[in-house]
Amino acid sequence: MEPEPNAKRILVEHILRNAKEYPWVVPANGRLTLVLAPDSVVINLFNAHYRQPGTTTTHSHTMDFKSEIIAGEMRQYRYARSSAETPGAAHYGCQELTLDGKLMGEATDCYLLEGPREVYRSGEFYEITAPEIHRSDPEDGTVTLITRQYKTTPASVFTFWPYAKMAPGTQSGEKIIPGVAGGKVLEDAVSHALRTWF
């Protein structure tokens, strides 16, 4: 018996093969994003080539979400706030972000304890409960379907970076989201994903 077709994968592949028909954006952190339903359902296509220099991938959220791996592989790390006395805890810089992606206030230092690596592949999913701190490390071309759940709604979101390194390449109040994805950026990212994982 042949395996049952994966409807979500088929639909997402159709969208990718017609990507120019949709309004993709490129945030600063190495992905292209397509909002299917405002504040609810999002497609992310990951490619480290489009990461803005100086950005960090360790952060929290103001909403809960489920991330389904449509294609590719996602390595996921979760962090707990800790103290300098905790064995294995690492020193980080920390700064609050506004909901539209601006740094605010002053950077502070903190300690984070990294949990075990989690690996998710096509057909699998993971969930994040806000304000849980996490870091995603996807293979280039990985495609995920995000469903925002809003079970908890923290008022703030934070970004973190190893303390020995510079803060995330921005000054307080500077917007870190570059803008719309189109042309060669979109074509190259989508072509790589389809060629690698579909």
**DSSP annotation of 145:** E
Amino acid letter for position 77: Y
Please answer whether residues 56 and 97 qualify as being in contact, where contact means their C-beta atoms are separated by less than 8 angstroms: no
Lowest mean pLDDT of 59-68, 127-136, 145-154, name the range.
145-154
- In this predicted model, what pLDDT tens digit does every residue of 3-29 receive, in sequence order? 567 899 999 999 999 999 999 988 767
* List of domains in the chain: 7-197 (2.60.120.10)
Q: What is the pLDDT of residue 173?
A: 36
Beta bridge partners, 137, equal 75
Q: Taking residues 78-96, what's their average pLDDT?
A: 93
Entry field: residues in the chain:
198
Q: For residue 78, name the pLDDT band (cuts at 50, 70, 90).
A: very high
Q: What is the pLDDT of residue 177?
A: 42
φ, ψ at 9 (rounded to 5°): -65, -40
Q: In the chain, what percentage of residues exceed pLDDT 90? A: 57
130 Cβ partners below 8 Å, 6+ apart?
A: 60, 61, 62, 63, 64, 152, 153, 154
pTM confidence score: 0.85
Q: For residue 88, name the pLDDT band (cuts at 50, 70, 90).
A: very high
Q: Taking residues 48-66, what's their average pLDDT?
A: 83
Q: What is the pLDDT of residue 139?
A: 97
* Helices within the chain (DSSP H only): 7-17, 183-197
Please answer whether residues 37 and 45 qualify as being in contact, where contact means their C-beta atoms are separated by less than 8 angstroms: no
**DSSP annotation of 2:** P
